[in-house]
Amino acid sequence: MDFEQILALPYNFDRDDEDSLAEHEDKLLTLRRKARERPLHPGVCFIVQLDQHDTPGHVYPPGARPLPSFAREPASRRLVLDTPLQTGMRYSSQVWIARVESSDNVEEADTARVVLKFIQPSMFYIPSTDDVIAEWRVMYTPPKILALREDYLYQEVKAIQGSAVPYYFGIHEVIMPNGEAAYMLVTEYIEGITLHGWKCSQAHCDDHGHSLLDPESHSAMLPGLQSSVVLALRSVKQLHDLDVQHGDLSPQNMILHPSGPSPSQVVLIDFARGCKPLDSDISMDRDADDCFEAFICCANHSEELEKWIPGNLPPDVVHPSLDDLGPNTCEDL
């Protein structure tokens, strides 16, 4: 299926039939109650077939992270939940770090880890017959379409996997502890810290968004910000060169790799709101502006970065428009 065919997939209920909608709602509410009673937890195991990632002649981008050993040949693998990253009823998708073990319970020699993203329908918004305005008819995207959309886009950016985006190991249909069918997307575990986490660790704003750092510390932080902004804008450029828009470049969806004051890569994750092809220059500008704004930690650094951008960005990056940007502190995220 191409991207437009995925978006046009039919719903699991008749949108124009109240009885069908009510039946769908009751089914998912029952599964949601069971999901509360039987959530994912450490030790839960999913056995899946992971295909070989690379193909003969495939060229990895310069500076690519090493491909995990388990992805070098097809095999059945046990993915054992280890550490939660995003869990609970307040989130739609559930995200975990999992250990990769061979099907005979032997953990991989390189202690491989992957990130699992679960698209579980009962955890998402459930259209209801009680919605008087029925906004869901305009805004609602079925979880199946969200899952297949992200799977499609990860495959479209395979040329930059291992550098600007994570290695992607496929989508799998699994049964959750509550008995519900769900989609599980498997991606590379990247050593690093999200931009959100880094900004919170460096928080230095007063109530008005201005820097509380002393002049020396404030100045010392600027070169690192400039370098990271360039890395991120370069990743966005590589994405756009493949005719893909990310659509949600928030601080939570960028990983500074490796952790530390001088990352060598900014990795873009979570393509649930992405699209292909890029529908206009507006889409490109939005990604660039969102990417730049995500790095703004205080009004003072924002002003300095905006003055630095013109004339200092290399040619292999996207250029933000710098229009209507403002402080984006940890508290705002």
- What does each C-alpha distance from 15 to 10, 20, 23, 205, 238 come to in angstroms? 10, 8, 12, 48, 39
Gap between the Cα atoms of 320 and 223, Å rounded: 18
Look up the CATH number of domain 193-332. Answer: 1.10.510
How would DSSP label each residue in 135-191?
A: THHHH---HHHHHHHHHHHHHHTGGGBTTTB--EEEEEEEE-TTS-EEEEEEEE--S
pTM recorded for the entire structure: 0.91
| Residue 278 contacts residue 284 (beta carbons within 8 Å) | yes
| pLDDT per residue as tens digits for the range 104-124 | 765 555 579 999 999 999 999
User: Is a pLDDT exceeding 50 seen at residue 330?
Assistant: no
| pLDDT per residue as tens digits for the range 152-191 | 999 999 999 999 999 999 999 999 999 999 999 999 999 9
CATH 3.40.50.300 is the classification of domain 3-188: no
Q: Order of strands across the sheet with 254-257? A: 193-194, 254-257, 265-268
Q: Give domain limits for the chain.
A: 3-188, 193-332
Which position has the higher pLDDT, 44 or 200? 44
Gap between the Cα atoms of 153 and 109, Å rounded: 31
- What does each C-alpha distance from 224 to 45, 102, 133, 229, 264 come to in angstroms? 40, 41, 48, 9, 11
Give the pLDDT confidence score for residue 20 in this predicted structure: 94
Give the pLDDT confidence score for residue 327 in this predicted structure: 44
| pLDDT per residue as tens digits for the range 6-22 | 999 999 999 889 899 99
Amino acid letter for position 332? D
Q: CATH topology of 3-188 equal to that of 193-332?
A: no
